[in-house]
Structures are given as structure tokens and as C-alpha cells.
Amino acid sequence: MHHSVLSPILAVLLCGFAVAAAAQPAAPALTNAEGTLRFALQLRDGAAAYTVERLAGATATPVLELSPLGLTRTDADFATGLTFVSASEVCAVEDEYTLVAGKRRHVRSRGVERTFTLRNATGMTLAITVRAYHDGVAFRYGMPGAGSQLLRLSGEATGFNLPDDARVWAQPYSKVGVWAPGYEADYVDGAPAGTAAPAEQGWALPLLFHSGATWALITESALEPTYFASHLQPQVPGGLYRVRLPEAEETYGVAPQEAAFTQPWVSPWRVVVVGSTPGAISDSTLITDLARPSELADTSWIKPGVASWSWWSDMSSPADYAKLVPFVDAAAKLRWPYSLIDLGWHQMQGGGDIRRLAEYAAKKNVGLLVWYNSAGRHNQVPDAGPRDVMNDPLLRDAEFARIAALGIKGIKVDFMQSDKQFVIALYHDILRDAARHRLVVNFHGATIPRGWNRTYPHLLTMEAVRGGEQYWDKTFAEQAHTLHTIYAFTRNAVGPMDYTPTVFTDPGVSNPGLQPHLTTNAHELALLVVFQSGIQHVIDSAASLVRQPAFVQDYLTALPTAWDDTRCLAGAPGELAVFARRSGSNWYVAGINGRVSPQTIRVPLAFLGAGTFALSLITDGAKPDAFAHVARGASAGETLEIVLSGRGGFAARLVPTGQ
């Protein structure tokens, strides 16, 4: 499998033609329009490298120290023997776009762009295009030209050299196994830069770090079928994190480790989001700013929302019609648009099949989402189905036509389990076929988002997180409150995250072997706003959901999953996360405590603007499984003082008076 995709212009570029440099300037560089961030290119002894600095007047503070650049093809070396050829004019990059579901609906981004052209020892050219925005910098490689010759890219020299004092939040990349890699390892919490990964597979993206007054996050965007998804090497000498290819063992020999393509070609963007607070990282839209525009002319059929989900509380339920009906009923009662029917639904018994269930759900105004195994031979999960459909273009298209005719609204595709180019192409193929049949998409056992939710707006969520389904692990249950605050500033900062939140009952009651959650019920409720996902799959049982207090059910009924605006109000990974999100004129504010001890927080309501609001505030009750509730008026001039229990949280809804 090979592809040649030269991404189209992502935005309006306002500049002249490239101009050749008579001689190499002292430091070819690009500074953002605000004068606060600078990317500088250097060539030393034929090797290319770069730095990223924050600027404040005459003061320059390193974000990344001198870090290597370069690529290696099987037929050519673009990492050594390089000489400088030219630097283009600086172009203004202006872009406006709409996200069906994301941190904010209408996005306007402004940046600058410059391309540096290098030549290798045999005369071949390598372009490095750099962009600088107010909240970060990004660069990607390009190989111009045209032709049908298949080229193979076997290595990447790119690295990210962190300052000596940096602390890091990152996730180990998983060893290949039946369920891995799926980006489900636990994040390290503030490890010193240079800490080696616990295993030879290295570190996964994204990587968040803190140095002095700077927070920064490293990740990728605009990953096309022309490349693999990258992670980072296990050894980090002096804090230098180098790009690592997918593991050779991935896909069990079905696909090669290297990438294959024809020219012209561009790599994904290597992205460094930069800010003064963790909230500046989580609020950034830089990953979607850099992604290709939407491929869909009509997005009116794409409906974000909340879903009930039976599998977690009863893993046998997808094959039992009678067990699924209460989850459809719960979704209908709470006015949720979806119920997810997980693995095994194709063998449904108990009084009905998927056709009958879809008909029943349609009468309740609930749409069904159905699960598929992505395999193929590229994963080894043989006993979970339906399988051997998503990997075959003809079977996949026929299946999408069949389920769309039944009224099915979307698919969950599981066990992708590789970052090789072969599987990256499969993501794109599934998304394009699903769009033709108007099916929304959720990927599980998957890689992290890389801007695809802009290009394919019906991609409403992806897993790539150790989520709520992991409560069979006692260690996870003990650490979940801390991990939640880390996810808010790492994994969820790069795109929608299907954590599958919100359990109020002891899960072991309905599903023996699962651990009780140690977080409070208010913490669990808050996750629906703290975490961003175009579909929120609620893991609690149907019986538990419909017996919650009326004010909790009212909150769940009103809850949107697509946001017009997002603002992190406070927090730091491992400590606290407080977010305000707006849908229309209504605001939702939620926070979670990453500590086992209580903390009192102050939440200014200045973001509300003019007017008065009806406030519904749900906080921790006297016991972890109890809620407290206050309903009163509120305005922008006040500050809420909220006591969070250990592992606690709060959730608030503010509606303009008169609505």
C-alpha cells in the first residue's frame, strides 16, 4: 500500500514568491506575529537542527534547546551532508473554520509561515516548512517533485531537546500484544526530563512538559496515509526525545515498518504548543488549525451527544435484546440521542435482533451505534465480532449500506492497535466510507487524534486513553482521580477523548470483578464537562442512571457535547482541573480534585458577561456517593467558593435568566 498526498493549502497564505538566499544567513528563523515565539534553524557540519524560544523584549527563554532535524530514505540521506539553499518570504496564514464538535465551534487562527530549502550531498532537496502562531510552532518536511517511483522512508532524525529543569507528563508506548498498542498505559506524573521509558518501546505522544514559566506539549497533526504515526525513543540522553517509528512487530507481519510514498510528499506537522499555564495548552486549537479542512460539504447529519452503554455494567448484554432495551429506555428518558451496542451484537438473542432493536429505538427517538473489530490479520483478537469486515473495502461498503438502511447512526471500530502506515490508511478509508453512508465514527484500541476531527467532522471521538472501562484494575481505581487531571492537559488537549466516564454505583454489583470507584459521585458527574468528546458514552447502568436525584437527571438531560467555547479556569496535571464550556448562551462549569485530601477552590464567573443567570450547582455531599445541590441566581461579578472532597468534584449549569 502506498500513497502520494501533498496536502492542499490549509489556509489563505498572504506572501510573495520564495527568494533564494545569496548566502546562508546567520540564523534562518521565523518569529510569530506577536513577537513572542521564535523558531530558528541551524546547520552544523551538514546536520540540520532547530531551537524554539519564548521572547519577552530582549529576553529569550528556551522552550526547546538545539534539536535535530532530518529524514532517511532507503535510497537517500536527508539527515547528513545538508547545505542551505533558500528561505522563502514570511507569509501570513489566515484561517477560519467550523468544528461540528470540539473545544470551540467557530475557530479563527492567525499565524506566519516560512519554508527553508536544504540540499543533500547528492543534490536532492528537502523542504522544511515552519509555522508560528501565538500559541505554538509547527514544522513539517516536504519532498517536492513528481513521479511514480515508490520511495521508502526508513528513519527520522527529528528530536525535541527539553531544558534541563523540565518535568514531563507522558505515557509509555505499549509493547505489542493482544490488546496493544492502544495508548492505554498510565502517564508518568512530572518525571524529570531525560527519564528513560520503562521499556524499549519508548514514549508515546503527546508529551507535556513544564520548565520555568513555560508549559509546552509535543504532538503531531495532519497525519495522512503517506506516513506512519510516530512515538519517541526510550533513551532520552540529556533530555533529547527523538522520534521513533512504529514497532516492527505491529500488525504481526502484515505491513512494513517504514513508510512508502511517491512525490510530491509532505510529512505530518510536528507540533509544539506553548503557553504560560497548563490551561493555555488545553485551550489551544493548534492541532486542528494545522489539519486539512473538512472533506464534507454537508455536516447537518452529524449529531454530537450523550450515549448510554450496556457493555461495561454487563458484558453479556450486547447479545441479549432484553438486556439492551433498558439502556435504550434510559437514553430516551434522559433525551440522549444514542445507545451504544458493543461487541457480540451480531449474535443477539433474547427476543430480538439488531433490526428489531433499531426499530424499537427509533420509536423512542434514540439512535444506535454498533461495534466492529477492525481485523483483518493485523490484530489477534479473533473471538470478538463482528470482524473481518472493516478491513475489506467491498465488505465494508456493503455493511455500511446495510446498517444505514436499518437506521443505525454510527460505528465503533476497535482494535486498530498499530501506528504503521497500513493502519493509518485504514483509518482514512473507514472514515471516507462511513461519511458516504452518513455514519458517525468512534475509534477504540486506537492512536491519538491528529487533527482528523477537522478533516472528517463525523469522527466524533477516539479512545487512546486508559479509560473508565479499566475499573477491573485495582491500581487504576486507586489512581483514577489523579489520572483524570493529567488527561485534561495531555491526551484530551490534542482532541476528543472517549474516556467513557461517569459511574455512580459500585460496578462490582452488576459486573463482578470490577473495582468500586473511589472518586466521589460529583467527580464522576464533572467528567462529562472536564473531558471533551463529541459522544460521551456514559458507563453507568441504566437502573442507576434513572434513579439519580432529579437535579442530576436534569443536568444529564440538558448536557451538550459540542461546545461554542472552552476555557480552562484553573488547574495543573495531578492536582486540579476546572473547565468552563459554553453551548449557545448556556455555560457548563466543572472541576475535579486530583488529590486525596480536600481543597477549597474559588471560581470567578467573569466569563459569563452581562446579565443574570440561573445557577444549578452540584457538589460533593456528606458521603462520596451523595450529592449536594444549590439552585440560585448568579452573575459575572461573583466568585463561587467550592469545597472539593478528596477525589471530589463539582458540576454547574448557568442559564441566562428568562430562558
For residues 186 and 171, give the distance between their C-alpha atoms in angstroms, rounded to a whole number: 6
Question: How many CB atoms lie under 10 A from the CB of residue 382?
Answer: 11
Which region holds residue 427: left if phi is over 0, alpha if psi is between -120 and 50, else beta?
Answer: alpha
For residue 414, indicate whether it is catalytic: yes
Closest-CA residue to 618 (of 647, 657, 591): 591
C-alpha neighbours within 13 Å on the C-beta side of residue 49 = 15
In the set 113, 224, 289, 469, the catalytic residue is 469
CA dihedral for 535, 536, 540, 543, sign (positive or negative)? negative
CA angle 337-342-348, nearest 5°? 105
328, 338 Cβ separation under 8 angstroms = no
C-alpha cell at 76: 537517500
3-state secondary structure of 617: strand
What the block records as the C-alpha cell of 243 is 522520534
Cα–Cα distance measured from residue 507 to residue 285, given in angstroms and rounded to the nearest whole number:
36
| Residues forming a β-bridge with 20 | 86
278's grid cell:
497548563
Biggest alpha carbon–alpha carbon distance for the chain: 79
Catalytic residue among 95, 342, 414, 463: 414
Residue bearing cell 461519511: 435
Nearest to 323 by CA among 301, 304, 345, 302: 345
Q: Are 609 and 636 in contact (CB under 8 A)?
A: yes
- The secondary element (H helix, E strand) that includes residue 65 is strand 59-68
Q: What's the grid cell of residue 387?
A: 470482524
User: Do the Cβ atoms of 271 and 219 come closer than 8 Å?
Assistant: yes
Report how far residue 99's alpha carbon sits from residue 54's, in angstroms, rounded to the nearest whole number: 29
If you ran DSSP here, which 8-state letter would residue 529 be given? H
Through-space distance between the first and last CA atoms of the chain, rounded to whole angstroms = 55
Euclidean distance between CA atoms 75 and 374, whole angstroms? 33
DSSP 3: B
Of 525, 553, 540, residue with least CA distance to 620 = 525
ω into residue 206 within 30 of 0, thus cis? yes
Hey, CA dihedral for 487, 488, 490, 495, is it positive or negative?
Answer: positive
- The strand ranges marked E within 29-158 are 29-31, 37-44, 47-56, 59-68, 71-73, 76-78, 83-87, 91-98, 106-119, 125-133, 136-143, 151-156
Please report which residue ranges of 407-503 form alpha helices under DSSP H.
Answer: 421-436, 452-455, 474-487
Q: 123 is written with which cell numbers?
A: 543534490
Contact in structure between 89 and 18 (CB atoms under 8 Å): yes
Do residues 243 and 274 touch, judged by C-beta distance below 8 A?
Answer: no
Phi, then psi, of 485 in degrees rounded to 5:
-70, -25
CA distance 641 to 657: 22
Report d(CA 307, CA 650) in Å as an integer.
21
CA dist 372 and 384 (Å) reads 8
Residue 203 DSSP one-character state: B
Positions marked active-site: 414, 469
